[in-house]
């Protein structure tokens, strides 16, 4: 399965408030059963190859993978993600984009 996504950072300035702290950003691919992911091709963000780490990094949903973003990129320019997953053993498939 090929995944391509674009992230527009134009509205991030709206979050620049004293009561809001932005943490380290990462991209998450959550799955119902992580055993169905047989291989992950190294993802690229703006042409730079990044590392995939196991688990979502989220307390409410642990099954999946996450991709930490480099500090230098995420807040100043739009991000383009390209990656692919090999899935196996799935009798059904559904997708829910979220932010």
- Strand-by-strand arrangement of the 2-7 sheet: 2-7, 79-87, 37-45, 48-49
pLDDT at 92 over 80: no
* Whole-prediction pTM: 0.75
In a domain? residue 98:
no
Assign 3-class secondary structure to 48-80: EECCCEECCCECCECCEEEEECCCCCCCCCCEE
**Domain total of the chain:** 1
Can you give the residue range of the structural domain that contains 9?
2-15+23-87
In a domain? residue 92:
no
2-51, pLDDT tens digit by residue? 999 998 888 887 888 899 888 888 888 888 777 778 788 889 998 999 99
The pLDDT of 42-68, averaged and rounded, is 88
Please provide the DSSP assignment of 14-32 as one string. GG-STT------EEEEE-S
| 3 state SS of 81 | strand
């Amino acid at each position: 399965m090929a995944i391509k996504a674009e992230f527009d950072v134009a509205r991030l300035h709206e979050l620049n408030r004293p009561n809001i702290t932005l943490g380290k950003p990462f991209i998450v691919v959550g799955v119902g059963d992580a055993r169905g992911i047989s291989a992950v091709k190294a993802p690229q963000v703006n042409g730079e190859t990044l590392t995939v780490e196991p688990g979502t990094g989220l307390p409410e949903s642990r099954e999946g993978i996450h991709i930490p973003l480099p500090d230098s990129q995420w807040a100043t320019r739009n991000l383009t993600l390209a990656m692919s997953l090999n899935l196996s053993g799935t009798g059904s498939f559904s997708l829910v984009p979220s932010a």
